[in-house]
Amino acid sequence: MRSVYIGILAIYYYYIYKYLTATPTSEAPYTFSEQVGKGKPKLASNSYVDFKSPPSHEKLGKENATIVMLVRNRELESALSSMRSLEDRFNRNYHYPWVFLNDVPFTQEFIDQTRLMASGEVFHELIPADDWNPPPYIDEEKLNENLVNSSNVIYGGSRSYRNMCHFNSGFFFRQKKLMEYDWYFRVEPDVQYLCDFDYDPFTYLRETGKIYGFVTAIHEYENTIPTLWPTVEKFMSEYPHLLHPNNSLDYITTNETELNYLVPLVNSSSSYNLCHFWSNFEIGNLNFWRSEAYLTYFNYLSKSGGFHYERWGDAPIHSIGLNLLADKSKIHHFDDIGYYHAPYMACPTSKDLRTFKRCICKAEMNGEIITEPYDVSIYSCLSRWWRYGSGKKFISEVDYHR
């Protein structure tokens, strides 16, 4: 009897020893089943295993592209949820890499868990402090005064939100890792992709010569950008040669009231109609953001201080940059992509498309069920884009079954 106990104890200690010495210092990749499962010790709830990517994470898609997510460690569950959704709907067939960006180092758990969720390679990058923090020409005192004075502005009191918007406007595309790619797909925590992709959107943009794709066009909160438009107007008069001859300025300045008549402009002295592409979803070409024209525009806006003394969002900054500096025919509305970021959903309205792409055009927010795509609502800016941007394509004109 005693020898049986000793035997069991010996096996038990053997496995504990194996587990403890199995820290991944070697190069050899190993998989889940080698560490956890039948015959392996049960992990305590406060322990985790550091897994290496299995070799099958090799890229299958043929574009020079990456998926990118700026994210905080505490958003791990939300990041995994977005990853699961995009992997299932798109990336499991392509294995494009994921680049995660953070202003503080990622935790080991974040790195391990995202690696397990990805079908492609994963990279976890620390943003240099100079790319994140307010630049030297920003007056700290003035920034702090505005932070405490902005409780009526959405995210108005958050310093990190301003850093984030400044970073997304002018720095994400020149992070060291992203310099290795031409194309990016921006993803945020807690978003959902509601239809199968069924073709590679990077390939689509490249083959059609486009540089940017969006799904939702909405109005900005006016009190986040009191001096944005006057600053843009000054930029335009100082750098007229940077404006693209086929730009889409008309789209952001038209004030036709038959379109979007439910969004009254409070500040009638500004000709900006507040329309912008919602930037939490973007598929685009990084070289546009890295172009001299865009960087000149970004630096001009950054120096004016509005990112820090007001609460300029990266969405209107990206959009106005595109509308001024790019050929409008190079901006694409992906009307066949289903997408949800609270509180708005984008989804194809065609039954044919919904069926073909296995869409579930439904999302839930705080117990409320959302089934109506935002872009067919009267608040949307899409009708303005159809009239003043690159036009509306009808379903019979487009081959969605690529």
Clarify whether 58 is annotated catalytic.
no
Q: Measure CA 216 to chain center.
A: 13
Which lies closer to ligand GDP via its Cβ, residue 158 or residue 203?
A: 158
Tally the residues of the chain: 402
Query: Does 316 sit behind a cis peptide bond, omega within 30 degrees of 0 on the bond before it?
Result: no
Piece of 98-106, 241-249, 277-285, 380-388 that binds Mg ion (CB under 5 A): 277-285
Residue 307 neighbours by CB under 8 Å, 6+ apart:
162, 165, 166, 169, 301
Rounded Cα distance between 289 and 318, Å, is 9
Among 103, 188, 196, 222, contact with Mg ion (rule: CB under 5 A) = 188
State the alpha helices, DSSP H only, in 201-268.
Answer: 201-207, 228-238, 249-253
Q: Which of 232, 297, 216, 313 is nearest to 270 (CA)?
A: 232
Active-site residue (options: 75, 87, 220, 282): 282
Q: Which of 156, 224, 220 is nearest to 379 (CA)?
A: 220
Among 160, 267, 287, 299, contact with ligand GDP (rule: CB under 6 A) = 160
Rounded Cα distance between 193 and 184, Å, is 16
Query: Does 226 sit behind a cis peptide bond, omega within 30 degrees of 0 on the bond before it?
Result: no
Which lies closer to ligand GDP via its Cβ, residue 69 or residue 322?
A: 69
Query: Is residue 329 involved in binding ligand NAG (CB under 6 A)?
Result: yes
Least distance to Mg ion, CB of residue 190, Å: 7
Among 188, 196, 198, 222, contact with ligand GDP (rule: CB under 6 A) = 188
Q: How far apart are the first and last CA of the chain?
A: 69
Q: Which does 64 bind (CB under 5 to 8 A by kind): ligand NAG, Mg ion, ligand GDP, none?
A: ligand NAG
Q: Is 345 helix (H, G, I), strand (E, B) or coil?
A: strand
Query: Is residue 316 involved in binding ligand GDP (CB under 6 A)?
Result: no
Measured from the Cβ of residue 250, the count of other Cβ atoms closer than 10 Å reads: 13
Residue 384 · residue 251 · CB < 8 Å? yes
Query: Is residue 189 involved in binding ligand GDP (CB under 6 A)?
Result: yes
Binders of ligand NAG in range 28-67 (CB under 6 A): 64
Least distance to ligand GDP, CB of residue 397, Å: 33
Among 180, 250, 352, 372, contact with ligand NAG (rule: CB under 6 A) = 180
What are the two backbone dihedrals, phi and then psi, of residue 191, each rounded to the nearest 5 degrees?
Answer: -110, 165
Q: Which of 249, 241, 232 is nearest to 306 (CA)?
A: 232
Query: Is residue 218 involved in binding ligand GDP (CB under 6 A)?
Result: no
Piece of 54-62, 180-188, 292-300, 343-351 that binds ligand NAG (CB under 6 A): 180-188
Piece of 5-13, 69-77, 245-253, 330-338 that binds ligand GDP (CB under 6 A): 69-77
Among 246, 299, 355, 371, contact with ligand NAG (rule: CB under 6 A) = 246
Which lies closer to ligand GDP via its Cβ, residue 124 or residue 357?
A: 124
Provide Rg for the chain, Cα atoms: 24
Query: Is residue 114 involved in binding ligand GDP (CB under 6 A)?
Result: no
Site for ligand GDP, rule CB under 6 A: 70-72, 75, 102-103, 160-161, 164, 188-189, 280
Site for ligand NAG, rule CB under 6 A: 64, 145-146, 149, 180-182, 226-227, 229-230, 246, 255, 257, 267, 269-270, 328-329, 390-391
